Amino acid sequence: MKKYIKGKEKKLQYVKCNMCGKELEINKGILTEGALLIDYEWNYFSNKDGEIHSLDLCEECYDNLIKNLKIPVDIEKRTELM
């Protein structure tokens, strides 16, 4: 769950994990902790057409979630990080 500071610039005030409720670390409006941030707009052929769902998971909850998947997540390693 993301909360932004009102104003011209879109600056994060806080991010909380939707699964465990942990408040993630923010420094000067920038998320400084590993997290999965999802904003998905459902479309045709779903029962949620026109809805936008947003959720945020801390790294620990993400790891716990993917452990239970029948088909594992594809993970690609990068050697150069920007």
pLDDT for 1 equals: 82
pLDDT for 78 equals: 85
* Tens-level pLDDT at each residue, the chain (82 residues): 877 777 667 788 889 999 999 999 999 888 999 999 999 999 888 999 989 999 999 999 999 999 999 999 999 998 887 6
Domain ranges in the chain are: 2-67
SS (H, E, C) the chain: CEEEECCCCCEEEEEECCCCCCECCEECCEECCCEEEEEEECCCCCCCCCCEEEEEEEHHHHHHHHHCCCCCCCCCCCCCCC
